[in-house]
Structures are given as C-alpha cells and as structure tokens.
Amino acid sequence: MSKTLDRIRKRPWVAYVDDERDSGSSIIVTLKDGYEFAGNEGCGVEGYENVANALSGTARNCIFNTQTIKPVKVVRTCPRCKTHAYHWGNDKGVKHRIACARCSHEWMGRIKKEEME
Ligand SMILES: [Zn+2]
C-alpha cells in the first residue's frame, strides 16, 4: 500500500482511490458529491498514471466545491418531456446541471451569466 495514496484518501473531498495500475489502467480518484476537478467541469472522476500526478491533481487548488453554486431558474425545453418552462439550473449545487420542474429529468446545459442574477 502506498503511503501517498493513503494521504490522498484522507483528503476531505476524496471519496475513493483505486489503484488499477496492475491491470494496465491508472490510479482512479473519485471525488465526493459536491466536488469536481477544476480543469474538468462537471467531472468528479480522474485517472492518473502515477502517484505523484495523483497527489498534485487532487490538491486543494485543483478541486472545485460545487456546493457554493446557487440554484437559478432558467427557461429551457426539457429533452425528455418537452416541457418548455422554468426549470432548475445548477441543480443541487452542480454547475450547469438542469432539473426538469415537471418530470425531474436532469441534463447538462450552459447557464448564461445574465441568468445567474
Ligand atoms: Zn421533463
């Protein structure tokens, strides 16, 4: 067991670290709900080739806390039920996630700056 991987596991935003290098894959880091990788919007899972990359890639300044994002009402057409109305943008604090007010389908969509006010 790598001590560095244990250090990564102890980071408050890290949910799991799976070392899959033995099977030809990489070190897979999964973040807890409410966190995502700053350079990889909407994504809470990343793979690293080695322990050093995993350590630097999961540092505080690389992690984005989506819980600080405020929900907004946005006018959209739900891709599932086709309801064109106000839906919840930044649903549950996840940036660009929109939840249908009618069928509760969730999808990812851009939210414009002016909609944030
Ligand atoms: Zn819908």
pLDDT along the chain (117 residues), means of 10: 92 96 95 89 92 96 83 95 94 86 94 84
Ligand 1 centroid to residue 109 C-alpha, Å: 14
Q: Are strands 45-48 and 27-31 parallel, antiparallel or unpaired?
A: antiparallel
pLDDT of residue 92: 77
Please give the Cα distance from 108 to 98 (Å, whole number). 6
pLDDT of residue 101: 93
Name residue 28's beta-bridge partners.
18, 47
pLDDT of residue 70: 83
Ligand 1 centroid to residue 87 C-alpha, Å: 9
pLDDT of residue 54: 97
Ligand 1 centroid to residue 106 C-alpha, Å: 8
